[in-house]
Amino acid sequence: MADTKDPTGSSKAKWLVVAVPYLWSAIFFLAPFFIIVKISLSQTAIAMPPYMPQFKDLATAWDAVRQFSLDNYVFLTEDPLYIAAYLSSLRIALISTLLLLAVGYPIAYGMARAPKGVRNVLVMLVILPFWTSFLIRVYAWIGILKPEGLLTMLLQALHIFGPDQQLKIFNTETAVFIGIVYSYLPFMVLPLYAALEKMDHTLLEAAADLGCPPLQAFWKITFPLSLPGVVAGCFLCFIPIVGEFVIPDLLGGSGTLMIGKTLWAEFFNNRDWPVSSAVAVVLLIILVVPIVIFQNQQKKL
């Protein structure tokens, strides 16, 4: 008896597999995004929720849409605070990403060159901080970096500082960089390790046989082959750091200006939901550029 297949059922199954991620994105990304866009086009009001107009029914929906305006976006361009916050966030994110790459690459390289029996242990040590709450880990750095904290006590015990000297790192950008590098280091190390671990090390042996110095072999062989991990790690760190709020707020204090803190202040302190929504939409548009670049690089690599 001939084996019959149902092409219709197969096509439906394929369509369902493709439709699930799009449906997930529509529910958990597009729908909230359009709500934020709608609020950003509204005006502040003394109400709950604190903006107007609101869609009460389909009959008045068009009247509400006609009240939308771009005033909040114009306000962002006129107030230097928001421009400075965006530029400061991009600067801190860029410097932090470069620091993460400088710290993470040697760690990933050492893990990839370690004996195979030790690599799994090293990977576990890298992801071990994720077993502890992110907020608790950031609070721990407060106890380390504050003027009377553990780092100051250590320097005094080593007689590097005098009894009355204190380390003044807390509530500065330096503390923010320390917290960001510590918190996001696994996101840089793991992609780099994945790229370096699968590299063919016989290429380095061949380069050495041909008289290529180790440093030159690294820049001509190892680093180019690890570029997919470099690109993935940099974007995995840069994109969330731009909108970071917890670390700048707890370690940077009021002197550190980042767009995440500005967004929080507008939404919760000033209760200006339309302006804060406009800030969030502009931030998303700014981050779309590196996301598109990342996706294009992933296709090429």
User: pLDDT by residue (tens digit) across 28-74?
Assistant: 888 888 888 888 888 887 777 787 877 666 666 676 677 788 888 98
Question: Count of domains in the chain?
Answer: 1
pLDDT higher than threshold 90 for residue 100: yes
In a domain, 82, yes or no: no
Task: Give residues with Cβ within 8 angstroms of 39, minimum separation 6.
Answer: 51, 273, 274, 277
Cis peptide before 49 (omega within 30 of 0): yes
In a domain, 44, yes or no: no
The whole domain housing 246 covers 89-257
In a domain, 4, yes or no: no
Express each pLDDT in 267-278 by its tens digit: 888 888 889 899
DSSP assignment string, 15-84 = HHHHHHHHHHHIIIIIHHHHHHHHHHTSEE-SSSSSEE-----GGGHHHHHHT--SHHHHHHHH-HHHHH
Residue 104: pLDDT band by 50, 70, 90 thresholds?
Answer: very high
Mean pLDDT of the chain: 85
Looking at residue 233, its pLDDT comes to: 93
In a domain, 243, yes or no: yes
DSSP letter at 96 equals: H
Percent of the chain topping pLDDT 90: 28
In a domain, 103, yes or no: yes
In a domain, 157, yes or no: yes
pTM: 0.85
- CATH number of the structural domain spanning residue 163: 1.10.3720.10
**For the chain, what's the residue count?**
301
pLDDT higher than threshold 80 for residue 284: yes
Contact 176, 127 (CB under 8 A): no
Looking at residue 247, its pLDDT comes to: 93
Residue 87: pLDDT band by 50, 70, 90 thresholds?
Answer: very high
In a domain, 24, yes or no: no
Side-chain-side CA neighbours of residue 248 (13 Å): 23
Task: Give residues with Cβ within 8 angstroms of 66, minimum separation 6.
Answer: none
